[in-house]
């Protein structure tokens, strides 16, 4: 009984210390809000091209297959140096050696390769995008067995992304002002800014698939690259005074 009475007394004290009017006046109600999402896109001319070559060699002897592959890779690098590029502009991005045993009865209609196959991917970077076609031709002349793609990129994608975000904020601000005027309220302050929806691939790139072509010089139009952004603004609003 004493424990029950003590608990009841404590509850009564709490009720006196927290009258209904005080509870009602505890926290102000949350402000009315307006949320808008701005969108924008900016175009940038690419200032770098990356040409991706493939080199594949095949032989019954693994040493011969790797030696042939290395010879083509060295020839490709030498031709790029003659174009004025540096060794740092030529990089092997993938390399593999596989073995496919010859079956006892191979299909004469199959183009399957047997023995050892060496595959290598070589990326060549050139900052003069109008020379991408010359890089393609030089690699093919060196013996590359494929041109995987040409990637046009912007060296500073973050600057383009920031420009798109700034334009998206401007768009959201214009929307908020128009909606507030139409609703007869005023914008008090920004409560939150949430970026999102940025479409800036690593390096901000556009890819052009390539096919092996004949002797005519290769020309490639890089076009423009586009980066888009979304920014959501949340405003506190109040009636017009």
Please, what are the domains in the chain? 26-45+155-212+224-241 (3.30.110.170), 48-103+112-153 (3.30.70.2970)
Q: What is the pLDDT of residue 30?
A: 83
Contact 34, 232 (CB under 8 A): no
Structure tokens at 42: 């900016």
Report the predicted TM-score, pTM, of the whole model to 2 decimal places: 0.70
Cα 123 to Cα 89: distance, rounded to the nearest angstrom:
8
Taking residues 91-99, what's their average pLDDT?
Answer: 95
Q: What pLDDT is recorded for position 16?
A: 33
Work out the burial of residue 127: count CB atoms within 10 Å of its CB; fewer than 13 is exposed, 13-18 middle, 19 or more buried. Answer: exposed
pLDDT tier for residue 28 given thresholds of 50, 70 and 90 = confident
pLDDT grade for 94, boundaries at 50, 70 and 90 = very high
Mean pLDDT (whole number) for 223-238: 94
Name the more confident of 66 and 210.
66
pLDDT digits (tens, 9 = 90+) for 164-196: 999 999 999 999 999 999 999 999 999 999 998
Over the stretch 127-174, which tens digit does the pLDDT of each residue have? 999 999 999 999 999 999 999 999 999 999 899 999 999 999 999 999
Return d(Cα 52, Cα 17) in angstroms, integer. 76
Question: Residue 10: its pLDDT value, please?
Answer: 33
Residues 6+ apart with CB under 8 A from 195: 165, 229, 230, 231, 232
What percent of the chain stands above pLDDT 70?
A: 77
Looking at residue 121, the DSSP 8-state letter turns out to be: E
For the chain, what is the mean pLDDT?
A: 84
CA angle 134, 138, 144 (to 5 degrees): 130
pLDDT > 80? residue 79 = yes
- DSSP H helices in the chain: 2-17, 20-24, 62-82, 132-142, 157-183
pLDDT at 50: 95
Q: Which residues contact 170 (CB under 8 A, 6 or more apart)?
A: 38, 40
């Amino acid at each position: 009984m004493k424990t029950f009475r003590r608990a009841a007394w404590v509850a009564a004290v709490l009720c006196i210390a927290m009258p209904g009017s005080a509870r009602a006046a505890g926290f102000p109600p949350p402000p009315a809000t307006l949320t808008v999402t701005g969108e924008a896109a900016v175009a940038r001319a690419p200032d770098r091209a990356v040409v991706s070559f493939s080199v594949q060699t095949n032989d019954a002897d693994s040493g011969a297959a790797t030696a042939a592959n290395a010879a083509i890779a060295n020839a490709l690098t030498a031709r790029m140096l003659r174009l004025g590029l540096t060794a740092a502009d030529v990089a092997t991005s993938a390399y593999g050696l596989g073995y496919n045993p010859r079956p006892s009865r191979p299909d004469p209609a199959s183009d399957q390769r047997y023995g050892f196959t060496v595959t290598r991917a070589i990326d060549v970077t050139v900052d003069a995008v109008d020379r991408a076609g010359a890089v393609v031709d030089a690699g093919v002349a060196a013996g590359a067995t494929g041109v995987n793609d040409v990637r046009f990129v912007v060296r500073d994608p973050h600057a383009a992304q920031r420009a798109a975000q700034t334009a998206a904020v401007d768009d959201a601000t214009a929307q908020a002002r128009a909606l507030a005027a139409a609703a007869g309220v005023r914008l008090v302050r920004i409560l939150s800014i949430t970026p999102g929806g940025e479409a800036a691939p690593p390096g901000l790139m556009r890819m052009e698939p390539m096919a092996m072509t004949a002797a005519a010089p290769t020309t490639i139009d890089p076009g423009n690259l586009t980066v888009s952004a979304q920014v959501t603004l949340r405003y506190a609003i109040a009636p017009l005074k």
